[in-house]
Amino acid sequence: MDSAVLLDLLGNENRRRILRLLSHKSCYVTEISEYLGVSPKAVIDHLRKLEEAGLIESTTNGTRRKYFRISRSLRLEVNVSPYGFGAKSAYPANPGLDMTGCCPHLSIEVEEGNDPDELAEMAAEFGRLQELDRELSLAQRWVHGRMENVLSRIDERFGPEADSRFYAEVLAAVVETDGSLEAVASEVQTATDVVEQALSRLQDAGFLSHEDGQFSIR
């Protein structure tokens, strides 16, 4: 789902409260109405929007009463800082995904139980995954903090009106390529003349040195 659509959908407090309730158990309209303190008609309208978005689904029991529940897991991340704004949504990866190849910067060790069907082993794995989730959250905060530190240092040289994130991407491209103008421009996917101006400013500011047609970190 598009993150902008999801943000708009969750901008309503009652819809957030409905999802919070449904995360604990399946409910029918009257239950939700009493929980929210709003009319069943308003609840039905919220449920319709959530169902159309694919966040919830409904089933009917033997008494023909319709129960609603969350249909799938979804993660929404929002980043607001002086250097950028972004939102992204993602569905959980397949449990069998091999993380060692896609996350070379992380050392992830999750022990598998000898018998995953055993309740005790499953409970132990759940505890380990909870701890891993907390560690990843802290790591993400640390990464964002370090990124903002780099951007603030660039701001100190060029002023807050400069596109600090672009300059940081250019610096990273210098490190990751052979440092030539063409390679850096290709890495950041920006016109050569624009990258050339950025490289020149970074060199004048003392971030880069230039020799034999190649830039390098000073």
Whole-prediction pTM: 0.61
- pLDDT tens string 3-33: 888 899 999 999 999 999 999 999 999 999 9
- pLDDT tens string 37-89: 999 999 999 999 999 999 999 998 777 889 999 998 888 888 888 777 888 87
Residue 77 lies in a domain: no
- pLDDT tens string 107-138: 555 555 555 567 778 888 888 888 888 888 88
Whether residues 133 and 216 share a domain: the answer is yes
Whether residues 59 and 124 share a domain: the answer is no
Cα gap 199→191, rounded to integer Å: 12
How crowded is residue 15: how many other Cβ atoms within 10 Å of its Cβ? 20
Cα gap 58→60, rounded to integer Å: 7
Whether residues 62 and 122 share a domain: the answer is no
13: domain CATH number is 1.10.10.10
Dmax (CA) of the chain: 80
Number of domains in the chain: 2
Cα gap 167→155, rounded to integer Å: 10
Task: Tell me if residue 186 falls in helix, strand or coil.
Answer: helix
Residue 202 lies in a domain: yes
Residue 105 lies in a domain: no
Given this model, what pLDDT does residue 83 score?
74
Residue 188 lies in a domain: yes
Task: Tell me if residue 58 falls in helix, strand or coil.
Answer: strand
Q: Domain span at residue 180?
A: 117-218
Residue 137 lies in a domain: yes
Residue 82 lies in a domain: no
- H helices of 53-180, in order, are 99-102, 119-158, 164-176
Cα gap 2→54, rounded to integer Å: 12
Q: Would you say 180 and 188 are in contact if contact means Cβ atoms under 8 Å apart?
A: no
Residue 98 lies in a domain: no
